[in-house]
A and B are shown apart, each in its own frame.
Chain A
Amino acid sequence: MSLPITALVLCLTLPLLGAIATVAAPRHATPLVTSVAGLMVAVTIGLTSHVAIHGPVVVALGEWAPPLGIQIMADGPAVLFLLVNALVMAAVVLFSLAPIGQPGPRSRLAQTFWPLLLLLWGALNAIFVSRDLFNLYVGLELASLAAVALVAIERKRDTLNAALRYLLFALTGSLLYLLGVVLIYAGHGTLDITLLAGELGMHPTDALAIGAMTAGLAAKTALFPFHVWLPPAHAGAPAPASAVLSALVPKASLYIALRLWLEAAPGAGDAIAVNVLGWLGALAVVHGSIMALRQERLKLVIAYSTVAQIGYLFLVFPLALGAAGAAGSGVADSAWNGTLFQALSHALAKAALFLCAGLILEAAGHDRIARLAGVAQALPVTLFAFGLAAITLMGLPPSGGFMAKYLLVTASLEGGVPGWGLIVLAGGLLAAAYLYRPMASAFRHPDQESAAPFTTVAAWRQAIPLGLAIASLALGILPAVPHELMGGMP
């Protein structure tokens, strides 16, 4: 096997092997996990630079070409997601080297946390490189199970409730997706995305299949109105788990929806369906933001912000496939690239925010926004990281979020549908409003009588969310290479 193919295969196998090893040898879990994370970052960076220079890496498993065998492919968008996944996961691993969550039987927590984290890593990577709709189902299901287990990891009653609700949504979503897969296979005799491209939409059952799959994926992505499971689950999990869940897991199902609609069936989406998706996205932006404004706890604000930020991602359907997309290929390209910029920069920024929230929770013992005064003094670096990540979520320059907003609004204006662009701009203002509250509260000087003591947090742990936040800004400062890797509408 050549080096890039080895790297691609390692991206799938290394986390899974690591997961098994940590189960088998829980005493050595810490060195195992750190070395797997380190290796994965190196391998992913290597693979990304290879794809950036030489183009996609394709592996036909067992050397059987589709339709008989199945293919995995690391193209531009795939390696970008692999890379962001690796960065967030590595940050979370580093962050969790200190005790996570509430004090208690740490070993048990670690015993379940590490394997689940690595399992999730592997499952997400499998989704990003799979070219087969059934393989994607398996990856999706694995990721969902690991994610649900991560929510439930502390076994408190509230989080178990949240996990169960999440599980029901996730399982229903998976089944709907599987139903679509079955119908597509019956109609076309293949599930390979490349072979399906251009074919999908011809068969009479395809509309039903795509509809079922999209509904299932939307439930897993927490698109409004299927978002009700997300805030309790993401706010209830331990902070490092929330970081992964909010940053990456919804992106995986969205990623499949993008592959399905834009790559496999670009002609199949009729105007009504794409506009419905766009409208649900717009409602998600508004509803999620308003709910975020009304929360009293920091983690819930961040979780509702995910609901809102996911809304932007669904604007790609009307922009790339609707009337706007027909206005010229440049519009669809802008919409596609803008959406990917949003997905990637949101992943980095959201992970940073949840890790910040985790540090504040550790230092203050609570995350009630009204009582955060003095955090700026106790955790200056954390608050700085929070501010930088907030810039990305507001879509202000210079950040990946601004790049996303710029491309999406340009697409909507050039496509002659400025309404979608206005939603994006309004969402930025709402984000500023709901992120400003905790920022300002933490920045205040504490009153003398209400001054609560903060426990100290090591500087190196504060630097982790800062690094992620800087990475999300870097996407906007040096966007040329990522932009080229995204490569416009597939």
Chain B
Amino acid sequence: MTATEWLPFTVCAAALIGLGLYGLVTQPLLLRRVIAFNVIGSGIFLLFGALSGSESAGTDSVPQAMIITGIVVALSATALALALVVAHAREGGRDP
């Protein structure tokens, strides 16, 4: 890939990470924080895909394997977070 090809991905990924971090810090609502976490995660995975294509000539399969693993991990984290949010709401806890 040439720079013109991977640069947009990188910029896009950086924007996602930045947006997500901003949301995580500023949003008080739990559900929104969980979403912000997922936005950051997407940005990182995008960055991973973009950067791994930049250096080597051929397609590197290792990052793809890692991205898939990472998505699975992020998914389970999201699931746990949502379960906790639901339990929290059931116990009558309100968002801070």
Interface residues in chain A, defined as those with a beta carbon under 8 Å from any beta carbon in chain B: 134, 137-138, 141-142, 144-145, 148-149, 152, 155-157, 160-161, 163-164, 167-168, 171-172, 174-175, 178-179, 182-183, 185-186, 189
Contact = CB atoms under 8 A, between A and B. Distances in A.
B84 A160 contact: yes
B44 A178 contact: yes
Interface of B: 17, 24, 30, 33, 37, 40-41, 44, 47-48, 51-52, 54-56, 60, 62-63, 66, 69-70, 73, 76-77, 80-81, 84-85, 87-88, 91-93
B80 A175 contact: no
Task: State the 10 A-B residue pairs at the shortest beta-carbon distance, nearest first.
Answer: A186-B51, A157-B91, A182-B48, A160-B88, A141-B73, A157-B93, A175-B40, A171-B37, A134-B66, A179-B44
A168 B17 CA distance: 16
A163 B70 CA distance: 22
Nearest to B67: A182
A179 B47 CA distance: 9
Given A145-B76, A145-B77, A164 B84 contact: yes
A17 B62 CA distance: 27
B74 to A, nearest CB: 8
22 contacts: A138-B69, A141-B77, A142-B73, A148-B80, A155-B87, A157-B92, A160-B87, A163-B84, A164-B30, A164-B88, A168-B24, A168-B37, A171-B81, A172-B24, A175-B41, A175-B44, A178-B70, A182-B47, A182-B51, A183-B51, A185-B48, A186-B54
A186 B55 contact: yes
Contacts of A149: 80
Contacts of A161: 88, 93
Given A160-B87, A164-B85, A189-B56, 20 more contacts: A134-B66, A134-B69, A137-B70, A138-B73, A145-B77, A148-B80, A148-B84, A160-B93, A161-B93, A163-B84, A164-B88, A171-B77, A172-B24, A172-B37, A175-B41, A185-B48, A185-B63, A186-B51, A189-B55, A189-B60
A241 B87 CA distance: 19
Nearest to A160: B88
A145 B51 contact: no
B54 to A, nearest CB: 7
Contacts of A172: 24, 37, 40
Contact of A186 (B52, B80, B81, B92): B52
Contacts of B47: 179, 182
Nearest to B47: A182
Contacts of B17: 179
Nearest to A166: B84
A238 to B, nearest CB: 16
A231 B18 CA distance: 29
Contact of A182 (B44, B73, B87, B92): B44
Contact of B80 (A145, A160, A174): A145
Nearest to B20: A175
Contacts of B66: 134, 185
Contacts of B52: 185-186
B86 to A, nearest CB: 10
Contacts of B56: 189
A481 to B, nearest CB: 37
A55 B60 CA distance: 35
Contacts of B41: 175, 178
B81 to A, nearest CB: 6
| Among A142, A172, A175: residue with most chain B CB under 10 A | A175
A81 to B, nearest CB: 22
A187 B22 CA distance: 27
B51 A185 contact: yes
Contacts of B62: 185
Contacts of B76: 145
A316 B48 CA distance: 32
